[in-house]
């Protein structure tokens, strides 16, 4: 990108979109505050816009911003909705576009694109609220343990690991509190990793992070509470495994058409195979989030990271 294509920081107004209406609102607010502070330190004029408040569209238009920095998580933020609004008002924005955002948000449909790229991803079965449910059939197909999760939500909200048939009903009930559409997914045992990817056509992967949760799995508490998990970077894996995980994350990023940034969750099994679980198009940016940790391991400061995301958004 030429210097002409980049906006001068001291002449640039950034609309920071955060908050929102999803179950991840509080996390979005924390992410947003971190980004606001870093961008202002870098010299940008930042106008916070809480998309969970009535009249935010008017606030966004009145901000007369040069670019929107999207710090929204979950429904209404990562599903293509806010991206569509930015397109309508002709406002450049950070991160993936409408289609990639909506695809990545749908864990079931994203698997189709992973498969097309030759990526391993756990088998799954859709479960819709109101449909007849044959738990024995699902267990016979996927075997125990298995995972129950909402199709289109993040931060591990409504996720359960079912280890016994007697736990299946409660797991479904918990999931339906979050979404009307769930998936039962094959459980893959192994090392839990996440790999962030930066860039557009020339995307590159950051060092993989190994996640060691205090709880049974990397749930909401593990993700966002201090001491809820250990993040080990670089991960304690062999060099060839590191390269395989990074390649898988880049393929996932490209298969969905992601731009700017993504973070793909991967399980490395005992045979050294990488299983792609899901891709997040707007990773968390709180004090305990994984993207800032991976960037730091790659020698990228917070300010540099957020400036890079703005530059990626302006690439043609």
Active site residues: 24, 155, 224, 263, 265, 278, 280, 284
Q: How far apart are CA 172 and CA 19, in angstroms?
A: 28
Q: Which residues pair with 124 in a beta bridge?
A: 185
State how far Cα 65 lies from the chain centre. 25
Q: What length does the chain have? A: 316
Dmax (CA) for the chain in angstroms is 62
Q: What angle do CA 107, 221, 218 make, to 5 degrees?
A: 45
| Dihedral in degrees, nearest 10, Cα atoms 9, 13, 18, 20 | -150
Cα 182 to Cα 79, 145, 179, 253: the distances in Å are 16, 16, 7, 23
Ramachandran class of 155: left when φ > 0, alpha when ψ lies in -120 to 50, beta otherwise = left
- Print burial letters for 257-277: b (CB count within 10 Å at least 16), e (below 16): bbbbbbbbbbbbeeeeebbbb
Which is it for strands 229-232 and 209-213: parallel, antiparallel or unpaired? antiparallel
Three-state DSSP state, 123: coil
Q: Which of 219, 229, 237 is nearest to 274 (CA)?
A: 237
Structure tokens at 51: 């998309």
Cα 84 to Cα 38, 90, 96, 279, 284: the distances in Å are 26, 10, 11, 20, 21
């Amino acid at each position: 990108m030429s210097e002409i294509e980049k906006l001068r920081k001291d002449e640039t107004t950034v609309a920071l979109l955060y908050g929102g209406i999803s179950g991840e609102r509080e996390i979005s607010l924390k992410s947003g505050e971190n980004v606001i502070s870093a961008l202002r330190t870098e010299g940008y004029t930042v106008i916070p816009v809480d998309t969970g408040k009535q009249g935010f569209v008017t606030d966004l238009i009145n901000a007369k911003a040069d670019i929107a920095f999207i710090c929204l998580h979950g429904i209404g933020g990562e599903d293509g909705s806010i991206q569509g609004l930015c397109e309508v008002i002709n406002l450049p924005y950070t991160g993936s576009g409408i289609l990639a955002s909506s695809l990545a948000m749908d864990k079931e449909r994203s698997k189709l694109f992973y498969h097309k790229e030759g990526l391993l991803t756990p088998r799954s079965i859709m479960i819709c609220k109101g449909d007849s449910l044959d738990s024995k059939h699902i267990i016979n197909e996927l075997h125990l343990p298995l995972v129950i999760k909402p199709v289109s939500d993040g931060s591990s909200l409504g996720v359960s690991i079912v280890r016994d048939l007697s736990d299946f009903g409660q797991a479904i009930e918990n999931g339906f509190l979050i979404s009307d559409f769930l998936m039962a997914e094959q459980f893959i045992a192994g090392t839990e990793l996440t790999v962030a990817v930066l860039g557009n056509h020339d995307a590159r992967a950051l060092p993989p992070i190994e996640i060691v949760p205090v709880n049974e799995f990397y749930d909401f508490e593990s993700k966002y509470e201090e001491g809820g998990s250990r993040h080990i970077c670089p991960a304690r894996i062999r060099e060839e495994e590191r390269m395989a995980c990074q390649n898988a994350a880049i393929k996932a990023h490209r298969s969905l058409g992601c731009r700017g940034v993504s973070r793909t969750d991967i399980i490395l099994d005992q045979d050294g195979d990488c299983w792609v679980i899901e891709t997040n198009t707007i990773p968390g940016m709180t004090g305990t989030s994984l993207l800032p940790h991976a960037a730091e391991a790659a020698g990228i400061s917070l300010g540099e990271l957020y400036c890079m995301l703005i530059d990626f958004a302006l690439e043609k």
